[in-house]
Amino acid sequence: MRIDLSPTSWGRVVLVTVAGTAFFIAAAFFVDSFNFPSLSPDALLWAKLTDLFLPLVLGGSFLLFLMWKMRQLAVAQKELSIVAATDSLTAVFNRGAFSMLVEAYLDQARSRAAADAGALLIVDADHFKSINDRLGHDCGDQALKLIARTIQGQLHRADIVGRIGGEEFAVFLPGADATRSFLVAESIRLRIREAEFTPGGQPCPLSVSIGGIAFNGPTTYHDMFQVADRHLYKAKSNGRDQVSFESPRSALSGEAANTFH
């Protein structure tokens, strides 16, 4: 059984407290041991009890309090980092955290000898301004939450989703090939179109347009985003509620990218 010794764990608090207290007791016995030969039996017993209980009470209490406070600080820092990286409305990554995670993955991919693969999708809610204008911003917020949950429901554990604009989301699929990436994009589009959104009991259909690019080899987040954004514009120009997607083959050969609706 592996003990959790992370800064936020109680295992770290207990281990440091016990080990530190044992060290204090050992140090007290070592320093006082030079006086032991000259002490009477009663004085020797008293000295040993003092060397045991004084570090145990004072040192142990101090270490326990110190480690408890350090754990509280580590927990607060962790919670703060989560809040700083999370979009407060939809609970997915915010734009800064999303781009940082994608760039970190791409940096690692470039450092490896073997080329890596994956895809970037940009998901934009269609006619979202009309939802805010007709139903109010609270209903618009509920629609965004529903869209975010639906996107998350179509992803694997390693996939990343973030809100990168008002009604715009981005999805990164590390290690996914072009076929799986397109199927994920199409699944997201279909599930959102099928989602029940009835603010105030009135049906309000939702749909999204998706632009995407799959990569196979070294690339950058900036380059991928430009291509995916161009395909998002194409999907919207062609009537919305569709996926415009570029695979590595079409990117290299100049073939037309797939567009489905």
Return the H-helix or E-strand segment holding 246: strand 243-246
What type of residue sits at position 238?
A: N
3-state SS assignment for residue 105? helix
Q: Which of 230, 85, 218 is nearest to 160 (CA)?
A: 85
Please state, in angstroms and rounded to a whole number, the distance separating the CA atoms of residues 50 and 35: 13
Q: Are 224 and 199 in contact (CB under 8 A)?
A: no
What type of residue sits at position 168?
A: E
Nearest 5°: CA angle at 217, between 189 and 235? Answer: 25
Q: How many CA atoms lie within 13 A of 220 on its CB side?
A: 3
Q: Which residues are catalytic?
A: 167
Please state, in angstroms and rounded to a whole number, the distance separating the CA atoms of residues 235 and 232: 5
